[in-house]
Amino acid sequence: MSNRTKCSSCRLQGHSREECRKRLNLYFSSLGPAGSSDHEAVFTRIPLRRPQDESATRTFWQWEKADWAGFRRHLSKLNCDSLLQGDVDQQDESFTKVLLGAQARWVPHKQHRRKASDQPWFGPQYRTTSDRRKFWAWQTYKRHPTSYNRAHHSVAAANMEATQLWTKNHWVEDKEKAEGQPSRLKTVVGPCQGQPRAKNKAVLVLDIAGALDHVWHAALLEKLHAVGVDGVLLQLLRDYLQGRHMQVVHNGQQSSPHRITAGVPQGSVLVPLL
């Protein structure tokens, strides 16, 4: 179903001659400076926190050093009749508590704090080996003088200054391509039709701050639904994100279109105008 059909089913009237672009290779010319228009804008900001992985503590049991004889004696002295009381859930909770207590007493164990960036297999032995190798690498580095770095530092600094000077002298501004997506939103996509000048017209703009190429469309729609965006508006945004393709245009040649499932469709048009 096309965007125009969906907008009609959502009771949203289109007033633009431009179709909703599926490929991101469009260019527009800008209007006057910001603030010169008599249009009124209503902004709604929805904050969505990015989940961050936290460090966790894991317990490593040294089963090869366990006192199995003492473990058996401890379990043989348990009074199962008094322990297994109540329903199945209560019995399971009581038995698990006693078993874990005996395990902590007769089986040596260590607590290891795992960083959020560590792999699941990166245990305390790998951490100890890694820290030891880092220490010896640092000791080896300090034994050798840094004459090589000192000798080449002045040359690198001179090259950096020359590079900055060359860049400043050869700087070329391309105002058309240097404009970002916010400035392109201040454009006229096409002449509006079917509405007298006395009536108001609205344009819906969706901007995701700091999204770049890491926003998964399915997860974005889920989060919008979780914060209360539902109904026809969510259906319109879903139709806007789906079916997008990206294409590279260089020197009159075009690459094969690539389907987009993540990221913000930069350069595309949210059409029809509402």
Mean pLDDT of 129-134: 87
Q: What is the pLDDT of residue 236?
A: 82
Q: Which tokens belong to 21?
A: 């672009």
Mean pLDDT of 133-152: 74
pLDDT band at 29 (very low <50, low <70, confident <90, very high): very low
CA distances to 67, 107, 112 from 61, rounded to whole Å, are 12, 7, 11
* Residue 262 CA from chain centroid, whole number: 10
Label residue 6 left, alpha or beta by phi (over 0 means left) and psi (-120 to 50 means alpha). Answer: alpha
- 201-255 confidence digits (pLDDT tens): 666 666 666 555 567 778 888 888 888 888 888 888 888 777 777 777 777 777 7
Mean pLDDT of 78-93: 85
Tokens 């245009």, residue located: 249
pLDDT band at 28 (very low <50, low <70, confident <90, very high): very low
Q: Which amino acid is at 113?
A: R
Which region among 20-24, 155-159, 227-231, 259-263 has the lowest average model confidence (pLDDT)? 20-24
Q: Please return the burial class of 124, using the count of CB atoms within 10 Å of its CB with bins 0-12, 13-18 and 19+.
A: middle
Q: What are phi and psi of 58, to 5 degrees?
A: -115, 150
Q: What is the pLDDT of residue 150?
A: 67
Per-position DSSP letters for the chain, written without gaps between them: --HHHHHHHTT-----SSPPPSBS-------S-TT-S-----------PPP----EEEEEE-GGG--HHHHHHHHHT--HHHHS-SSHHHHHHHHHHHHHHHHHHHS-EEEEEEPTTS-TT--HHHHHHHHHHHHHHHHHHHHS--HHHHHHHHHHHHHHHHHHHHHHHT----HHHH--HHHHTTS--S---S--TTS---------TT-TT--BHHHHHHHHHHTT--THHHHHHHHHHTT-EE--EETTEEPPPEE--BS--TT----S--
Q: What are phi and psi of 192, to 5 degrees?
A: -75, 150
Q: What are phi and psi of 245, to 5 degrees?
A: -135, 150
Q: What percent of the chain has pLDDT over 70?
A: 59
Beta bridge partners of residue 249, listed in sequence order: 254
pLDDT band at 130 (very low <50, low <70, confident <90, very high): confident
Beta bridge partners of residue 246, listed in sequence order: 258
The residue extents of the domains of the chain are: 1-47, 55-118, 121-177, 214-263
Residue with the larger pLDDT of the pair 117 and 76: 76
What is the pTM for the complete model shown?
0.30
